[in-house]
A and B are shown apart, each in its own frame.
Chain A
Amino acid sequence: MSVPGNLLYTEEHEWVLVEEGTVLVGITDHAQGELGDIVDVQLFEVGVEFQKGQSIGTIDAVKATADLYAPVSGVIQEVNSDLPDGPDTLNQDPYGRGWIYRIRLTDPAEIDELMSPEDYEEHIDI
């Protein structure tokens, strides 16, 4: 399972790439592997505001349906519009073409609460 060193992580298996004032969010390689073949995603629209920990989307896989939890509080600035027609991108390239949201942070201090790559590796060692 790949855990890139330039990202931050959550217990619920989302990754966060910190940019200038915004973050890019997706699900980890581990998450897509656990879910199996992903067949559908339901995402929110640009402009939706949410708090950290809220469900900001649903991922349907053949084995289970999983919520996507907000890793930080913010406003959705951009949605990966390729995903609804190609949800299997989440399986094939979870850290690249499978990015899900670009989020404008409302509480940048929450970045400090995310997990380091080392901590996340430990977290997924079942």
Chain B
Amino acid sequence: MPELIFEKSRPGAGSFTMATGGQDFGGLAPRCPSTLLREKAPALPELPEGEVVRHYVGLSTLNHHVDKDFYPLGSCTMKYNPKINDALALLPGFTALHPEQPEAEAQGALRLLVELGEGLCEVSGMDAVTLQPVAGAHGELTALFMIRAYHEARGHARRKVVIPDSAHGTNPASITMAGYEVVQVKSAPDGCMDLEALKAVLDEDTAAFMITNPNTVGIFERHIVEIIQLVHEAGALCYMDGANLNALLGIVRPGDLGFDIMHINLHKTFSVPHGGGGPGAGPLVVKERMAPYLPGPLPVRKGDAFGWQDAHPQSIGQVHAYFGNFGALVRAHAYLRRLGAQGLRRVAENAIINANYVRAALQDIYRLGFAGTPLHEVVFSAANQKKLGFKASHIAKRLLDFGMHAPTTYFPLIVPEALMVEPTETENRATLDRFIAAMRQIHQECVEGNPLLESAPNLTPVRKLDDVRAVKQPRLRWRPEAAGDASHTA
């Protein structure tokens, strides 16, 4: 591994100067409480500019990213991020804006927020929106607080939230954090909801039902309208986890199906760059009856102009400083407007075609998690390969040697040895064929017992990790006093 920039640092080699303790900071110091003033300079690494640039460019070549090669990480929608989105987000009218700027001086930014919100409502078939949540799970938690407020306003708080056993891990985590009890329902043999099992758990204490559609095995819930009806008859609300919205764009609107509330992962479906933790954006779109509980303030039209409107008195309150991750919202808006209604539909169609192209080319050697035609992603099981002595993790790590990112492994939990492949619409046939050829070669290696499978990855900057040591002795941060000492842990 290359040295950290802190380890490369040499005293006096820095190419910047910084005001240190005792200085006036342009007259600001006397007005700051003394507890907030630094007494000595921060311990920043000192290197000439050229070395800093080489350091970070070097790191970027060690990392895998969608600009480097194929990234079929199921459920994450690692599509190409159009560079024009970045160019627009960097316009000075956006970057030089202060969140406290008077409305009259921020009309362009306000208009963008209003029109993005309207666009997301139109795409999803919903009535109102908050752009504040900055991740999918943040949207989930915000929604659950709103669901609680909705039921409390009706005099009965309710205790439980129901999910299928194929749910993303964030769903039960958000439910628990919001103070609800998780009730998990086993899926039917076809990977979809079991209606009878759902009926058995719905009662007057059920606050909501959360489901991903298409579900986490990539299959559209055929009985979704009936499911939503059952949930509503129990007086509960229907939440859609929008992680897989890429499969529905321009074809199905969750609001039309009857969903009350949904988060949209702009960093998946709407091409905002992600991986490595963000910054993401997880706006919530809701039906009219949920609108009073939305966080505020809300960007709105004021005649021909745009401005802020205070939250409704029943609002759950603000869930993020100011207005969410604005830069991510600009990128999503640019994507939405450039594609338009027809373009968005083609996104979904091509995402579905690509996933099924991969399915058809590999299903003779990699067993399908569930029979049937999935939408935008396909879940294989490495059950055949396991009988040869190699697991999904071997296959995933070996794929890295081909310069491609691994699929999502061991999720969903209901598929043994799962390999979840989501090619997205932005990959062409040549790339898919290269992936298919790699997966077929890896299967052949399983048959032959090729030792490269055990040692994989063989060609990456960091070789096979010691999983146990990574859990027990993680080195989470560098500390100056322990530089070079491998034994310290955070």
Contact = CB atoms under 8 A, between A and B. Distances in A.
A62 B470 contact: yes
Contacts of A37: 467-468
B354 interface: no
Contact of B471 (A34, A39, A126): A39
B386 A126 contact: yes
Say which size band chain B's interface belongs to.
10 to 19
Interface string A34-68: 10110100000000000000000000101110000
B416 interface: yes
B383 interface: yes
B410 interface: yes
Contacts of A60: 471
A112 to B, nearest CB: 23
A101 to B, nearest CB: 24
Given A37-B467, A39-B472, A63 B383 contact: no
B81 interface: no
A62 B386 contact: no
Contacts, number: 24
Interface string A77-92: 0000000000010000
Contacts of A39: 468, 471-472
B55 to A, nearest CB: 31
Nearest to A62: B467
A63 B410 contact: yes
Interface string A14-51: 00000000000000000000101101000000000000
Nearest to A88: B468
A126 B468 contact: no
A62 B471 contact: yes
B381 interface: yes
Contacts of A34: 416
Contacts of B383: 126
Contact of A36 (B386, B416, B467, B472): B467
B410 A64 contact: yes
Given A39-B472, A63-B410, A64-B410, A126 B381 contact: yes
Nearest to B392: A63
